[in-house]
Amino acid sequence: MTMVIEQMKVGGTGLKVMVKDTIDISGYPTRASSRALQDVGPATQNAAVVDALFDGDCQVVGKTVLHELAYGTTGINHYAGTAENPRYPGRIPGGSSSGSAAAVAAGLCDFSLGTDTGGSVRIPACCCGVFGFKPTFGRIDRRGVMPAQSSLDCVGPFASRLSLLIESMRIIDPSFKPLPEVADICLGVVSVQASSEVQRAIDAVLHATNLTLGNVQLNSMQAAYDAGMVVINRETWNACGHLLDTGLVAPDVAGRLQAAGQTSDDALAAAERVRTTFTAEVDAALERFPVLVLPTMPDYPLRLEDAADTRAVLGMTAFVRPFNLSGHPALSIPFEGESGLPVGLQLIAAKGADELLLAVAGELLRRLDSNLL
């Protein structure tokens, strides 16, 4: 299937895992689904997170396709192939970790690994109808993950059930602790502008839980989105700008890279000031509520034919990218709207409170009598 670009059987005999092709596996090339990297040699050692998989007796069974150089939100890739969306045919699989989400949705593995720099786990998780988790920034070891330097990027897992997602975290995060007990928690509902069907779906889920709800206004959210774009542009240019000289980067990504090369030091400094402001704003909200909730995406995933221009669809990350800038852990839980299309419920917790976030997700799903546990 297009979502898998390299099949293998390495490691143990336990859970089957697929890995985004920005994560090194010894003996296999890391090409980031780019023609510009088609001639790179095999990795000489595993990424730290792959060693953790092997220590957990996992069997890595494939590398997955992605939006080229992990620099796009749709998952459309004319060189390596665009991952099919197994549960919502004809819709984009999301980016950049498209293949990892699609592989889980197709039942090809027990869980998969992606990376999330501006929503690149949560967006494809939402599009493909699976769970996607961005841990607290820095919580999962990024050694051996492309790009080598990032102030935004996190390795994160996908799974079709919450229990498998929790098990994946136990495996890849040596510091992961038992989940705390949660009961009558109060959720902070972040005010955002989503489509009417997405908002109705989110409201229906939240009210069906019978949990206490409060309102949260994050006034710097748009500024944080814009600042996150500035930071990712500079950091992606630093990591991948040299590949433009090959002439082999696809036009959509090449155009973005060219523009990213114009990111000024002043713009970056301003973005870092917004990072400080927005982080404090989220921290303050999390002192009032243990978990914040909002949609993962503002609307349903686009049809493939309507998503050709990557730059035109960047707004689909409006609700996820700000939390890369701030570094808070974030989870997308799969639901559906009235049209039978995917809607993600996004949960945000304090930095380091990854276990609490997953515990709250479990309580929420238990209250809904969900089969996703």
Q: What would the pLDDT profile of 318-345 be if each residue is shown by its tens digit? A: 999 999 999 999 999 999 999 999 999 9
pLDDT surpassing 90 at residue 27? yes
Question: Chain-wide mean pLDDT for the chain?
Answer: 97
* Arithmetic mean of pLDDT, 128-137: 98
Does this model's pTM top 0.75? Answer: yes
85: exposed, middle or buried (C-beta count within 10 Å: 0-12, 13-18, 19+)?
Answer: buried
Inter-residue contact 147 to 120 (CB < 8 Å) = no
Residue 58's pLDDT is 98
pLDDT digit string, tens, across residues 28-71 = 999 999 999 999 999 999 999 999 999 999 999 999 999 999 99
Which residues have a Cβ under 8 Å from the Cβ of 287 and sit 6 or more positions away? none
- Mean pLDDT value of segment 263-278: 98
Per-residue confidence band for 185, with pLDDT thresholds at 50, 70 and 90: very high
Q: What per-residue confidence (pLDDT) applies to 310? A: 65
Counting Cα atoms < 13 Å in the Cβ hemisphere of 338 gives: 8
The pLDDT tens digits for 87-105 are 999 999 999 999 999 999 9
Segment among 2-16, 114-128, 212-226, 302-316 with least mean pLDDT:
302-316
Domains by residue range for the chain, with CATH: 4-367 (3.90.1300.10)
Q: What percentage of the chain reaches a pLDDT higher than 70?
A: 98
The residue-averaged pLDDT of 290-311 equals 91
Q: What is the largest CA-CA distance in the chain?
A: 57
Is residue 184 very low, low, confident or very high in pLDDT (cuts 50, 70, 90)? confident
Do residues 47 and 59 make contact, with C-beta atoms less than 8 angstroms apart? no
Q: What is the pLDDT of residue 183?
A: 86
d(CA 301, CA 150): 27
Q: Is pLDDT larger for residue 240 or for residue 2?
A: 240
φ/ψ of residue 54, rounded to 5 = -65, -35
- Specify whether the CB–CB gap between 47 and 54 falls below 8 A: no
pLDDT of residue 155: 98
Exposure of 28 by Cβ count < 10 A (0-12 exposed, 13-18 middle, 19+ buried)? middle
Nearest to 9 by CA among 34, 31, 33, 27: 27
Tokens of 81: 């192939």
pLDDT in tens, 348-360: 999 999 999 999 9
| Arithmetic mean of pLDDT, 294-300 | 98
d(CA 141, CA 148): 11
Task: Judge contact between 312 and 72, C-beta under 8 A.
Answer: no
* Spatial CB neighbours of 47, under 8 Å, sequence gap ≥ 6: 23, 24, 25, 141, 142, 143, 144, 145
Number of H helices, E strands in the chain: 10, 11
| Element (DSSP H or E) covering residue 48 | helix 48-55
Query: Which backbone phi and psi does 150 adopt, to 5 degrees?
Result: -160, 140
Q: Which of 230-244, 295-309, 328-342 has the lowest mean pLDDT?
A: 295-309
pLDDT(215) > 80: yes
